[in-house]
Amino acid sequence: MIRVTLLWLIVLVLSAYAWRDWFKSLCGLILLMAIIEHPDIPKSIGGIQGLNPWNVLLLSTASAWLIQRGKQGLRWDMPKHMTLLLFVYLGVVVVGFMRLIADRDNIFLAEYGETIASLTSEHMVNTLKWVIPGLMLFDACRTRQRMKWGMAAVLGIYVLLALQLARWMPPSTAVSGAALTHTSRKIIQNEIGYHAVNMSMILSGASWAVLAMTPLFRKNWQKLVVLGLFLLIAYGQAVTAGRMGYVTWAVIGLLLCVLRWRRLLLFVPLVPIAVTMCLPGVAERLMEGFGDSESIVETSVDDYAVTSGRTLIWPFVTDKIEEAPIVGYGRRAMTRTGLEKMLWEQMGEEFPHPHNAYLELLLDNGIVGFIPVTLFYAFVVIYAVRLFLDKRDPLFGAIGGMTCALVFALLIAAMGSQTFYPREGAVGMWCAIGMMLRVHISRKGMSATRVQPVRSAQAAVFQKASVAAPAIGGASR
């Protein structure tokens, strides 16, 4: 097919160019996340699992990065506690996978026809690789120009996804909630490749992340473009029919408004009115499960319809967690412990995961795995919020707001779905975290130079840069 051939041509050009400038190839790699899940994109070639365009470009770009970073004088200066927490976080993933493989009664090998190779590819390689672009961006974005390139690449993912949704999901599909749900499940999966529920979470924070870029632009027409992109992504998220995504989008907006955009709180009452008038199917989908009862003063609530059965299975999950609260059961515990089978026999529906990322983390890894992972996100949120509230440099607020929006999206949506195991839909978030930590280091350096004399060449470079504001951090290249 022409599209696949063109994609391979782009991948080969970027792979070769990576050995000249791996950062620009990295930006191209990030943008490819908008199309890489499309059904037409090959997932393997010649029967070789994992040999696909995105992995080929990742391997080439990451190799160039590892080989050239030493020659470029780059040093790993992520805060030690964040490096340790990230290392432990990824260690939790690896240990959980090893326990999955070591399971003598492994249901995936015995009944599901999986192999050690397929499990390794899916539950370790295809989990850890999504973090790599974020680590590379942390190492690369040491100037303002590179930071803006990186932010543009990350936000470009969501703009391209929203454009695809606008193409395949016209406003006419959002007239009825039932029709919207049916259409979104079918079209989004078949034409874009992401599951509609995951797409809703992915975009729930993206529109707010775009809006956080406003301070970077001074001209009115540029701000109007940002507003237009915000509305485009918000529309794309609306037509996914993901109710948890709707709630997440609203909560993120309220949080960011309370933290800094307090003037926007005046428009909050207008949002439900606008949605009901313009996209009635979205409002109908959101209120699914809430219906009038025969009583005049009471309203009936169908718990199963409202939560898609989630609240009914959570007691079973918590009971299983209590049986092994310290270390859990290892990866895919919901299936391996027989809990999925038991729920199918009792409820007639498949629940291969708990539909709650926090419960999944506890079930798989226990308290030992839960604490470092949640602590990592706690530090990320603290640093992102501090940057978002810092008005000394528009870039601080922009990268802080973007990271807050994308991380909040996962943390809030995790209450009803999602997972803390890195996946394709979270690449943008990991990239934002990497860039945010880079700016966090620079912000600390800026504060230090104001209260103490310069003690190193790196601090001197930053002190000079903080006046003219052309660079982020010290010793930039």
**Chain segment 235-281, per-residue pLDDT in tens:** 999 888 888 889 999 999 999 999 999 999 998 889 888 888 887 87
Q: How far, in Å, CA of 339 to CA of 351, rounded?
A: 9
Q: Tell me: pLDDT of 370 over 60.
A: yes
Amino acid at residue number 109: L
Q: How far, in Å, CA of 369 to CA of 91, rounded?
A: 9
Q: Tell me: pLDDT of 46 over 90.
A: no
Query: Model confidence at 352, in pLDDT bands (50, 70, 90)?
Result: confident
pLDDT, the chain, mean: 86
DSSP 266: G
CB 229 within 8 A of CB 184: no
Amino acid at residue number 347: M
Q: Which among 444, 442, 431, 440 has a CA at the least distance from the CA of 379? A: 440
Integer angstrom CA distances of residue 335 from 99, 354, 364? 14, 10, 11
Rounded average pLDDT over 337-347: 87
Query: Model confidence at 476, in pLDDT bands (50, 70, 90)?
Result: very low
- 3-state DSSP helix/strand/coil percent for the chain, to nearest 5? 75, 5, 25
Question: What's residue 308's pLDDT?
Answer: 58
Q: Tell me: pLDDT of 402 over 70.
A: yes
pLDDT single digits (tens) 418-430: 899 999 999 999 9
Q: How far, in Å, CA of 74 to CA of 60, rounded?
A: 19
Question: What's residue 463's pLDDT?
Answer: 36
Question: What's residue 184's pLDDT?
Answer: 81
Q: Which among 399, 454, 24, 415 has a CA at the least distance from the CA of 215? A: 399
pLDDT single digits (tens) 56-80: 999 999 999 999 988 888 899 999 9
Query: Model confidence at 349, in pLDDT bands (50, 70, 90)?
Result: confident
Q: Which among 127, 187, 202 has a CA at the least distance from the CA of 409? A: 202
pLDDT single digits (tens) 438-467: 999 988 766 554 444 433 333 333 333 333
DSSP 44: E
Q: How far, in Å, CA of 333 to CA of 1, rounded?
A: 40
Query: Model confidence at 469, in pLDDT bands (50, 70, 90)?
Result: very low
pLDDT single digits (tens) 172-194: 777 766 777 778 888 888 889 88
Integer angstrom CA distances of residue 455 from 192, 440, 445? 52, 19, 11
Rounded average pLDDT over 284-300: 55
Question: What's residue 448's pLDDT?
Answer: 53
On whether the pTM is more than 0.85, the answer is yes
pLDDT single digits (tens) 212-222: 999 999 999 99
Rounded average pLDDT over 113-129: 89
CB 44 within 8 A of CB 8: no
